[in-house]
Chains A and B, each alone.
Chain A
Amino acid sequence: MHNLLELFLGILSAMGGFVDIGELVFTLNAGAKFGYSLLWIMLFGTVGVIVYGEMAGRIAAVTHLGIFDIVRDRIGFAAGLATLVAANLVNVMTCASEIGGIAIILKLFLGWPYRFLIFLVLFFLLAAVWFLPFKWIERTFGLLGLFMVIFIFSAVALQPDWSRVAAGLAPNVPEVREQSDYFLYAYFAVALFSAIMLPYEIYFYNAGGVEDRWKPTDITVNRFTSGLGFALGSLLAASLIGVGAEYLRPHGIADALLPGAAALGPMELYGKVGLAAALAGMFFAFSGAAIETALSAAYSFAQFWGWPWGKFRGPKNAARFYFAWIVVFSLAALLTLTGIDPVELVEYSIVFSIVILPLTYLPVVAVARNKAIMGKFANGRLANVLGWFYLIVSTLAALAAVPLLIVTHGGKG
């Protein structure tokens, strides 16, 4: 019974912790610009993140190795170091966007000055990570992030044409007004794929397995958590496409001012309760994501340089690991304090994420399939086929991402 409850809470935490500011921005705007046409990318990317999440969790359960332990070992020191630097540049950018997003949500709720709120958010996040045990961090932010289900209720209440929703689940090219819109569609497809398969989610999921002291007997828990948790989380993200398609698009909004504009639909449908639920959901979801990015950066540094790491060790036994996440939070807050637009920042961090994605996913699939390392827990045929397939797709997406960013004027059109 206890194990079932743990599994249930784990799945719900994975669901509530799935959406971050990057997903919010790209799903809502994808719906506003292209209706349901990009739903298939959500489906496609969700299978990918489940495949790699499951592998990363299994590696943690069997070998207790972190992602950057294997990055350094598999792709060599020089390329590993370049990947480490690029991955953490993206982590800091993403963390800064999350902090900026949280500060905007608080500003919309409390009306206090933005820069003061950035400091408040920084202290809140530092205190949360310092004082809460790892499992509590996962559960608190994951479960409270479930306030985001207001977007599922809203997407359904907006009475979508279900045949159009179903049509969007199959790969398609929408009817567009101009030739340049095809590039914009491709840009959004790549960015949505990247937002779902963000590398930091895999670093964090893998490190979480080590933090929670997973053993090979936990592999079934890992399968359910990554499979069901990520799938339900993706449903939540897909509902944002629905809100964009049914609420923003008919009003002629193609580029919403987020995160505030996301709350307009729930507010119109459910009044102030809808507003409170939407703001609370985004607050906890972005806070969880900010913590994940900062901890992921610290995990990757510690794993790459061979420092002792893990919340479970405490600050005395993992001083450099603790120092690393404090520095990442502080750098991200400083970046936000410059006045940079967090939404614009996250758009770039998502595009850069896809560029480094193959560099971190290649070692994962290489280790997960290796019988000498994983023994009887090595990939089966299906995991191997899917793993290599998604690696090839993410490499193609990585090669297309920057040219598309340039051609579409930074995703503007």
Chain B
Amino acid sequence: MPRLRKRGSHVRLESALLLFFAIGLLFLFTRTLNKSLDAAGLKIEAGDLRSVVAQAALIAGVAAQGKMTATFFRKQLNMLQDRVDKTLQKLSMAEPKSEIESKLAVAVQLARASRAELSKLGSAFGAREETAMAKRELEDLARQLWSLEQAVAA
């Protein structure tokens, strides 16, 4: 088959793309080593936590309508709990910049409260009133986390 004439620009482009690929891989590995926490990092963690808590509230709502299987309920909540545990661990071990120390303390407190609510919800499958109550508590926590995010962003 006739070959394409190879040009210098192709080689430069290929090298650039492969270099970017390597930088990306390097970023992937260094990300896991970084423990310092700034405002942007705290906002991300609070946002993650809010998403988890909001999903748990949603699960509680669907379960209260009797539309969910017990296995799905338990396993999905377990995974959400794992995520809260990871966030809590990250927040507890973080070395915060001085300007976010008080907000980090609030985040840790909310993460602990989230974990407690999730574990309460985990044992409430089939009990409509308890599930509905857990849903309300979780929605309240989600609102507090949202306020925290806004405060960190400001």
Residues of A with Cβ closer than 8 Å to B?
63, 65, 70, 73-76, 79, 82-83, 86, 104, 107-111, 177-178, 180, 251-257, 260-261, 263-264, 267-268, 271-272, 274-275, 348, 351-352, 355-356, 358-359, 362-363, 366-367, 370, 372-373, 395, 398-399, 401-402, 405-406, 409-410, 412-413
Contact = CB atoms under 8 A, between A and B. Distances in A.
A260 B76 contact: yes
B153 interface: yes
Given A268-B62, A268-B65, A351 B83 contact: no
Given A268-B67, A355-B17, A413-B47, A263 B52 contact: no
Given A79-B14, A372-B2, 7 more contacts: A109-B71, A111-B75, A252-B50, A261-B76, A267-B68, A355-B21, A413-B40
Contact of B14 (A256, A359, A370): A359
B51 A254 contact: yes
B57 interface: yes
B47 A255 contact: yes
B59 interface: yes
Nearest to B25: A352
Contacts of A256: 51, 55
**How large, as a class, is the contact surface on chain B?**
35 or more
Grouping DSSP codes into helix (H, G, I), strand (E, B) and loop, the A interface class, with mixed when no group exceeds half, is helix
Interface in B107-154: 142, 146, 153
A136 B49 CA distance: 43
Given A254-B51, A352-B24, A355-B24, A267 B14 contact: no
Contact of A73 (B3, B51, B68): B3
Grouping DSSP codes into helix (H, G, I), strand (E, B) and loop, the B interface class, with mixed when no group exceeds half, is helix
Contact of B59 (A75, A264, A398): A264
B31 A255 contact: no
Contacts of A110: 71
B20 to A, nearest CB: 5
Given A352-B21, A359-B17, A73 B1 contact: yes
Nearest to B53: A252
Contact of B18 (A82, A274, A410): A82
B79 A257 contact: yes
Given A107-B75, A272-B69, A409-B40, A74 B3 contact: yes
B33 interface: no
B30 to A, nearest CB: 10
B44 interface: yes
24 contacts: A65-B1, A86-B21, A251-B58, A252-B50, A252-B54, A252-B142, A253-B54, A255-B48, A257-B55, A264-B58, A268-B65, A274-B67, A275-B68, A351-B24, A358-B13, A366-B4, A372-B2, A398-B20, A401-B20, A405-B27, A409-B44, A412-B48, A413-B43, A413-B47
Contacts of A107: 75
A253 B58 contact: yes
Contacts of B18: 82, 86
Contacts of A363: 4
List 4 A-B pairs, minimum CB-CB distance, nearest first.
A111-B71, A271-B67, A402-B24, A260-B76
Which of B3, B61, B72, B146: most chain A CB closer than 10 A? B72
Nearest to A400: B20
Given A82-B14, A261-B55, A410 B69 contact: no
Interface string B75-86: 110011001000
Interface in B1-52: 1-4, 6, 10-11, 13-14, 16-18, 20-21, 23-25, 27-28, 31, 40-41, 43-44, 47-48, 50-52
